[in-house]
Copies of this chain bind each other. A is one copy, B any other.
């Protein structure tokens, strides 16, 4: 079962600045070979359910190791069995329907990769 996920991990008890922990999670996702796309309030991931979930668990373990005594994470998670759909497909299907306001919208598809 393929899954598209948006995950936002918040370490607690380590002060207000948490980017070090978020960066560590990106290393974990990268080592897991997962597609991970950072945005301003989380990270989009796609892949096989068990692989994605194992990676999110490793993120919790890593962030605890780095010193966070408590973590609260928000996950949005989508599955479908009617057809295949990637993260890029989702963004493109919205953009194809936009008639105005395009200059304010920053697409998140593969063509924007660094």
Instruction: Determine the distance from Cα of A102 to Cα of B36 in the docked complex, in whole angstroms.
Output: 10
Task: Tell me which of B13, B40, B53, B82 contacts A44 (CB under 8 A).
Answer: B40
Instruction: Determine the distance from Cα of A57 to Cα of B114 in the docked complex, in whole angstroms.
Output: 33
Report how many copies the assembly holds: 4
**Cross-chain contact A19 with B93 (CB below 8 angstroms):** yes
Which residues of B have CB within 8 Å of A1? 57, 60-61
**Cross-chain contact B78 with A75 (CB below 8 angstroms):** no
**Cross-chain contact A91 with B30 (CB below 8 angstroms):** no
Which residues from chain A sit less than 8 Å from chain B, CB to CB?
Answer: 1, 4-6, 8, 10, 12-13, 15-20, 22-23, 26-27, 29-31, 34-42, 44, 46, 49-50, 53, 57, 60-61, 64, 69-82, 87-88, 90-91, 93-108, 112-114
